[in-house]
Amino acid sequence: MRTFLFSHCTTKKPSATTSSEHITRRRHASISFQRRNFAKGASAMGVQTVEVSSANRPGAGSLMSPAPPATGVATGTNDVEKGTTGQKSGDQWGKNMQRWRNDNIDIGKDPGGPGICAFILTLFSFLLILATFPLSLCFSVKVVQEYERAVIFRLGRLLKGGARGPGIFFIVPCIDTYRKIDLRTVSFDVPPQEILSRDSVTVAVDAVVYYRVHNPTIAVSNVENFSHSTRLLAATTLRNVLGTKNLAEVLSERETISHTMQSSLDEATDPWGVKVERVEIKDVRLPVQLQRAMAAEAEAAREARAKVIAAEGEQKASHALREAAEIISESPGALQLRYLQTLNTISAEKNSTIIFPLPIDILKHFIKPDKKDKK
């Protein structure tokens, strides 16, 4: 059976037409592949490409060629129809294609990938762990808490799979290093910042910032010290935001300022794997002279309001006394009763006041009669 199949396969020869069509298809496939790769490379290099007719460049199909620099002559159908322009475009295409191949000769490969030394060191480390098995567990097994994550580097490269934890994880002692990242919310005080407000008033403002790490891998690999960087950025953002506010806005619109700072900080620290949860303005300190001036202004305003209130009270009291006098003048006995009531009030108090009662009738001779009484 094997002999029959072998003889059958060897005796059947492809025809010349089939072989030619196969070669043509392979050539067209290769040209299409080169055209696609060149288009990607040209777009990456910022080179503009146009279609070149196959009549001007035989055997090239409709490959993409970079457009020549603009010299005042339009590159369109008129240039394609000219043989000289098509030949120049073909030569330029060939040069750019060769340059792109030279620049991307190692495309698809990782030039900085682990080499033979890395594999040898890894193999040696695993063998060492196996050789010292019971003792090696003390150095290989690590534990992180529920609120922690471990970012592992193997021979300086970030290990795949992201951060480890919580719980137990394993490392290779000789080639692995790791760093623990705390995921709990951290708070810190922004140092007092001397800020010149928009109305040219110098104030000292301090704040409190609450943040947490939401991506441990980015927090380790993208920034050297995310905590220190966040602190510096918070101080700078506080100065920038308050520099656009008046003193009255700084004192009255604290919630708006805190929300603006939180949005700015959260957007800036997102590439670091940090999430800013809350920002609060803690204290606003004014200069002593400004405090005295504001206190004097407030005291003067209070005194002015007190005088206005006292004057309004005197006015109302005078109206009330006038009405009372008119009522008493209508009845002669009302004045006597009021006189006796006053004596009773004075005698109720424990004092050494001596009172000489005087009849009201004696005083009538000294009171000038009104015009109404004369009539």
21-32 pLDDT, tens per residue? Answer: 656 666 666 666
Give the torsion sign (CA, 21, 26, 29, 34). Answer: negative
- Residue 299: pLDDT band by 50, 70, 90 thresholds? confident
Distance, in Å, from the CA atom of 338 to the CA atom of 346, rounded to the nearest integer, reads 13
CB atoms within 10 A of CB 264: 19
Over residues 252-287, the pLDDT tens digits come to 888 999 999 999 999 999 999 999 999 999 888 888
For 295-335, the DSSP string reads: HHHHHHHHHHHHHHHHHHHHHHHHHHHHHHHHHHHH-HHHH
- Asked if residue 59 has pLDDT above 70, the reply is no
- Asked if residue 216 has pLDDT above 90, the reply is yes
Supply the pLDDT for residue 183: 94
- Residue 368: pLDDT band by 50, 70, 90 thresholds? low
Over residues 63-102, the pLDDT tens digits come to 344 444 443 434 444 444 444 455 555 566 666 655 555 5
- Asked if residue 179 has pLDDT above 80, the reply is yes
Supply the pLDDT for residue 101: 53
Supply the pLDDT for residue 341: 79
- Asked if residue 170 has pLDDT above 80, the reply is yes
Angle at Cα 192 formed by Cα 189 and Cα 197, nearest 5°?
Answer: 130
Instruction: Give alpha helix (H) positions in the chain.
Output: 2-11, 16-45, 77-81, 83-103, 116-131, 133-140, 216-221, 226-242, 247-252, 254-269, 288-330, 332-348, 360-363, 371-374
Percent of residues, the chain, with pLDDT higher than 90: 27
**Of the given ranges (4-18, 323-337, 342-356), which has the lowest mean pLDDT?**
4-18
Residue 38 structure tokens: 């060149």
Distance, in Å, from the CA atom of 214 to the CA atom of 184, rounded to the nearest integer, reads 9
Supply the pLDDT for residue 56: 42
Distance, in Å, from the CA atom of 276 to the CA atom of 211, rounded to the nearest integer, reads 4
- Asked if residue 314 has pLDDT above 50, the reply is yes
